[in-house]
Amino acid sequence: MIPTALQPYEAEVVENTVEAEGIFTLRLRFTDADLQRRYSFQPGQFNMLYLFGVGEVPISIVSDPLDEHLFDHTIRTVGRVTEGLSRLRAGDRLGIRGPYGRGWPMQAARGKDVVVVSGGLGCAPVMSVINYVTRRRGEFRHLNVVQGVKAACDLIWPDKYAVWQNQPDTSIVISADSADAGWPHHTGSVLNLFDSLTFDPANTVLMTCGPEGLMRAACQKMQTLGVAAENLWLSMERNMHCAVGQCGHCQFGGAFVCRDGPVFSYAEIGHLLGNKGV
């Protein structure tokens, strides 16, 4: 944890890797070696990235807490700040404050089956879960990685899925709403494939991120398969400003996503999902 919550600290780009069109990973380190040494975070937490003179955005941390001296952010270019961040090169500087928020329940998931569900173009918050479990494989039971995309061409990181597929006790389930002949995965909604996953409902944790509709449907489906609402976890996204529970920009019902989330259990927020304007 960095000492002053609202003050950005200078970090340096070590590498900017293009993952797919419009998606890139910034590998960073603080320019102050002592700060870098003391910096620690949990999977699912986020940093505020400040592109000097342009603006500041919340971005999840995808690297593993054991990765010393460096931390990674995988970012989709959608607007002014993310566009500017995509142009940074090795040696360029930016401001970082964080880590913020409540991350994934990795301690509670120990000794359990894990189901990771994501939708859309490369969902960064669950990458940190998959990295965490594969790095500590003996501490968790079966790992199910479920990825849904609209079109086959939206699937990024095919190489990573191929590597995870060869891990022990791991299932990879990928489906595209539409795909041409030759697509090696499933076609149709990923929700239709949940019955084929490997998990014991009484001993399972679901972690999901992506479009709210998909997360809600995934939680409902897991509930019908016998998993309790308090073992279903979602990572929420809201526009943010302060990131420390002061400005109200990220209000979600009675909670602030920056302070009380971004990871919530379905038991906490299930009743709010799908209600416009909450």
Ligand X SMILES: Cc1cc2nc3c(=O)[nH]c(=O)nc-3n(C[C@H](O)[C@H](O)[C@H](O)COP(=O)(O)OP(=O)(O)OC[C@H]3O[C@@H](n4cnc5c(N)ncnc54)[C@H](O)[C@@H]3O)c2cc1C
Q: Which does 65 bind (CB under 5 to 8 A by kind): ligand X, ligand FES, none?
A: none
Q: Which does 247 bind (CB under 5 to 8 A by kind): ligand FES, ligand X, none?
A: ligand FES
Which token pair is 148? 């849904």
Residue 153 contacts residue 177 (beta carbons within 8 Å): no
Other CB atoms within a 10 A radius of the CB of residue 212 amount to 15
Residue with tokens 């173009």: 121
Q: Residue 71 CB, nearest distance to ligand X (Å)?
A: 12
Q: Which residues pair with 206 in a beta bridge?
A: 115, 232
How many residues bind ligand X (CB under 6 A)? The answer is: 20
* Residue 21, SS3 per DSSP: coil
Site for ligand X in 14-33 (CB under 6 A): none
Site for ligand X in 41-70 (CB under 6 A): 46, 55, 57-60
Helix (H) or strand (E) holding 222: helix 212-224
When the beta carbons of 156 and 227 are compared against ligand X, the nearer one is 156
Looking at beta carbons, which residue is closest to ligand X?
Answer: 79
Q: Residue 156 CB, nearest distance to ligand X (Å)?
A: 12
Strand 186-187 with 170-178, pairing: parallel
**Helix boundaries (H) for 8-123:** 33-38, 80-86, 106-109
Which token pair is 267? 């038991």
Site for ligand FES in 212-271 (CB under 6 A): 240-243, 245-250, 256, 258
- DSSP E strand stretches across 210-259: 232-235, 251-252, 255-256
Which token pair is 268? 């906490």
Site for ligand X in 116-155 (CB under 6 A): 124
When the beta carbons of 90 and 247 are compared against ligand FES, the nearer one is 247
Task: Based on the shown chain and the rule CB under 6 A, indicate whether residue 278 belongs to the binding site for ligand FES.
Answer: no
Residue 77 contacts residue 21 (beta carbons within 8 Å): no
Phi then psi for residue 139, to 5 deg, are -90, -5
Task: Based on the shown chain and the rule CB under 6 A, indicate whether residue 238 belongs to the binding site for ligand X.
Answer: yes
Q: Residue 242 CB, nearest distance to ligand FES (Å)?
A: 4
Task: Based on the shown chain and the rule CB under 6 A, indicate whether residue 39 belongs to the binding site for ligand FES.
Answer: no
Helix (H) or strand (E) holding 199: none
Task: Based on the shown chain and the rule CB under 6 A, indicate whether residue 94 belongs to the binding site for ligand X.
Answer: no
Task: Based on the shown chain and the rule CB under 6 A, indicate whether residue 120 belongs to the binding site for ligand FES.
Answer: no
Residues within the interface to ligand FES (CB under 6 A):
240-243, 245-250, 256, 258
Residues within the interface to ligand X (CB under 6 A):
46, 55, 57-60, 74-76, 78-82, 124, 237-240, 262
